[in-house]
Chains A and B, each alone.
Chain A
Amino acid sequence: MDPGWVKTRMGGDGAILEPHESISGMLDTIHKAQKNGETAKYYTVSAVSSILICQGTDNVSAQRKRDPVVSVASRGRSQAESGAEEPVLNDGSRDTRCCNLSDTGVDGQQVRSDIPTHQLILASLLT
């Protein structure tokens, strides 16, 4: 689990997520993973409006133009290569992404969105 860039002592300057946002995202993800019997997966709680992963590849920039909200949260390179379905996240500023742990390697592919509904509601308030 990657908790995202959180406003804690370790997070330091520039952190984006409030602790309660990160924690609620993680709790949702854990419960969902348990319900679905998921194992050996890597999850990231991220802020779409963040600048943490804005400095991405051209693919990220391209996706940004298409959908400014989805873009920053998604790993453009992986999605473009894997042909995975674009996550629909039109009103969110935060989501929890999930991918196989192999995706954390150099040759990562496959990203799918994993977005609890109430996070979207909270997210729309923050946008």
Chain B
Amino acid sequence: MAKSNSSIHVLECDTSSLSSISNLPSQITKALGSDAKLDYLLNNAATNSVPDQLSLNIDPEALLKEVGVNVIGPAKVVETLQGFLKKGSLIMNMSSGLGSAGLTISDIGSKCTVYSISKHALNMLTVHQSFNLKEQGVL
């Protein structure tokens, strides 16, 4: 797609790697210029690495890794790209029904606990990002 359309740029980033994320601004500047505005930032990358673990058999390493990818990843991507986020820019963090305590209680039940915890944390991150980027006019 990028080959047939010069306005499409594919920039690779491993959102589980802070060093990879830190390379994004220079890549974007190269592709779109230093005053580029990101109209939409969609944080989609995530992992559900240990779906079988429930609350009584959580592997600490697995939970930390899950939070690293699913929460710290989107947090650092937004932080790193803050300079490209301007009035009207919109951030969408891809959550899950499993991230909702309400839905888990009423409908889903206990499923994919580690993933569920990380997505619930992502929801809270979203609230904080909304507050912290309000002055910038970011949605």
Whether A105 touches B93, Cβ cut-off 8 Å, given contacts A53-B107, A56-B107, is: no
Is A42's CB under 8 angstroms from B100's CB? yes
Residues 2-16 of chain A, each 1 if its beta carbon lies under 8 Å from chain B, else 0: 111100001000000
Pair B139/A78 contact, Cβ less than 8 Å:
no
Residues of A with C-beta under 8 A to B105: 106
How far in angstroms is the closest Cβ of chain A from B82? 16
Closest residue of chain B to A54, judged by CB?
B107
Residue numbers in A under 8 Å from B99 (CB-CB) = 2, 104
Interchain CA distance A26-B126 in the complex, whole Å: 17
B-side interface residues, number (CB < 8 Å): 29
Q: Assuming A101-B123, A104-B100, A106-B101, is B93 touching A1 (CB within 8 A)?
A: yes
Chain B at the A interface: SS class? helix
A34-82 interface with B by 8 A CB criterion: 34, 37-40, 42, 44, 52-57, 60, 75-78
Q: Say whether B88 faces chain A, with CB atoms less than 8 Å apart.
A: yes
Spell out B's residues near A (CB within 8 Å).
40, 48, 88, 90, 92-97, 99-103, 105-109, 120, 123-124, 126-127, 130-131, 134, 139
State the A residues within 8 Å of B (CB).
1-5, 10, 26, 30, 33-34, 37-40, 42, 44, 52-57, 60, 75-78, 101, 103-106, 108
